Structure 1
Amino acid sequence: MIVKRSVRCMRILAAVENHYWLAVCRKYAVPLNVALPHTSAISVWTVQITTVARKVRNLLTSMFNNFSIGLLSDGDPCAQDLAVGEGGFSLTRFYFDKETRRCREFAYQGIKGNANNFLSLEDCELVCPVLPNPCRLGEPLMNALKEPIICGGEDSCINGYWCHVGGSPETTNCCPGKLNPCGFGEPLIGTDDERVLCTGRQKVDSCPRGHYCHVGASALTTVCCPKKNIDSCDQPVDQGTGGEDLPRWFFDRKQNRCAPFNYGGIGGNENNFISQTTCNEACPVYRNYCPHGIPLVEGNQVTPCGIDRGCPDGFICHMSTEFNVSVCCQDPVDFCSAPRDPGPCTNFETRYGYNPSTDTCVEYQYGGCDGTLNNFHSLQRCTEICCKEYRRKL
């Protein structure tokens, strides 16, 4: 049996009562050689399925999956009820659910049915008037008229739903579950078993150690999220998810400056600031002037140094060829011999510190905040700073 593939037809699939398949195509074509197609001004295929022997059943299944065969209908396919049809096949199709105004998947049996039958979700949503679904998981909460409830405020959704604040009232709906705005870990829970809300003014972080204030699109998404054991200024820009378009700032390490971006409102990371001022305060341009740590700052100005201007005790004059500056940096002779302090936080990760007794760098566990400058992300960096160039002269 020979199957001649044709130009794809209008992608609506159904069948008529007398078991004849009909398809509207752009060009004349022969889908099977078991019957000649009936041609007219609109080029309609006709294949009498009842004349096909059982031995070509598998071939038909392949044909139905590879050919787009449809039925001309006088009615609106989106207004028709679901019809799974007959025939014993199990073909993945999509139909428009009038009550929820969503396109849903179903298993089509291959024969009969109706025009509310689409090969893909994209086709269905293109033809039928679907409602936008702002929820990341599941469907928005509906009212008695099967319309999504428009929410607003903390108590506008029932238990088990949260208010997704979209770009318009139509996309501000109650979504199932409890939103996790944090891009890493879970929001901090207070003594009342509720999430700890924080202030959106990042100049003074209202969250306890080990957490930072994630500033979302509403009070419900402005919560205390766990910090990563990576400096916020060293984290890559993360636009997040959520469908919002919030103006934010991040520190661009390549450009060594703060730059604007648009934040989606959910997820993201700590390199996310509500203004250029707060970004500059958290990630000053001079933060990479020194090989380790930050330079001496007096009166909000970096202390320069040179041949005719030295540095105070505990600092040495360092020339940065990358940034073309000479500044006072903390003396490795001091911080390399400082204790390998894990700090008060408990988000432990492996760091490296210098051991002056053995003139080697050793591994230790750092809690994620405070501590001393005898703290390096890699063994190589610790060795370069403390063992080779600046090691303590015992």
Structure 2
Amino acid sequence: ILNLSFMDALRYLPLFSLFIRVFCGSSDQESSYEEWQTRYPPVQCKQAPLNIGSKHRRLQRWFYNLTTTTCERYFSNGKNDGKNSFESKQDCNTFCRNPHYGICADPKNDRRCQGQRQFRYWFNPDTKTCESYIYSGCNGNTNNFATKVECLLECSEFIDDVCSIPIDEGECYTQVTRFGYNPAFGSCEAFNYTGCGGNRNNFITAYQCLTACAKDSRCLKHTQENFELFRFFITYFYDPVINECRKTRTFFPKSTGPKNNRFRSRNDCQSVCMRKHVPRNPHLRK
């Protein structure tokens, strides 16, 4: 047993913390939404009213749906509704949605003043998208981003279209290969996920990413694999199930056009269907 003084123990605490993060991180088989969910609504907003859907209701009320992260209308008889029940959508947003969204619920500040006008982005909680606006430079708030990428990253958990969210490697220390969709190239890219943080644009396999975000990709088109030596023409195709570019042979030349999952060389195949994600500049992280 080590005989350490209190001050010695404090010195080794950061190393112990690093050890726990590195060797106890989640595996690629344990991926779940909980890895990146960071914001939670007030306790009163987690339980839906018990009598939603019952007939013979006259009173219009609003409740916070934790699954859709929106305030939704329902009809009540005024009994046993619980605390997650509001007379107006505005009240519901004020008590549940806005605290849950945090800075992503702050209003757009496009008020005109004497400051320098700037092109900025804000997260619109009603449309769940990042939108551009002109910021005059005064009375700003935290829902104010210099780029659309910054806005998407900060408010990613509330964006419905997971395929529009930029790839985020996370903020821990493990190295797990995952796949994310890059809308700039219209393709899924492999990246090193660090085990915590990040966002929902995070798939365990390339096939999952492609079928979710790039259903029309040439990389998903079926191509027959043949090995017979009397087939003289060699091309390559991408197999999304095993994430590999494979060789095949044909009797006659086959088109390697942009609509076909067929390439002249393995390198051509890999450059289109097996892209590697280029990590963002860490200084740009918020």
* TM over 0.5, shorter chain: no
Higher relative contact order (CA 8 A, sep 6+): 2
Structure possessing the higher radius of gyration over alpha carbons: 1
Instruction: State the TM-score, normalized to the length of structure 2.
Output: 0.29
TM-score (norm 1): 0.22
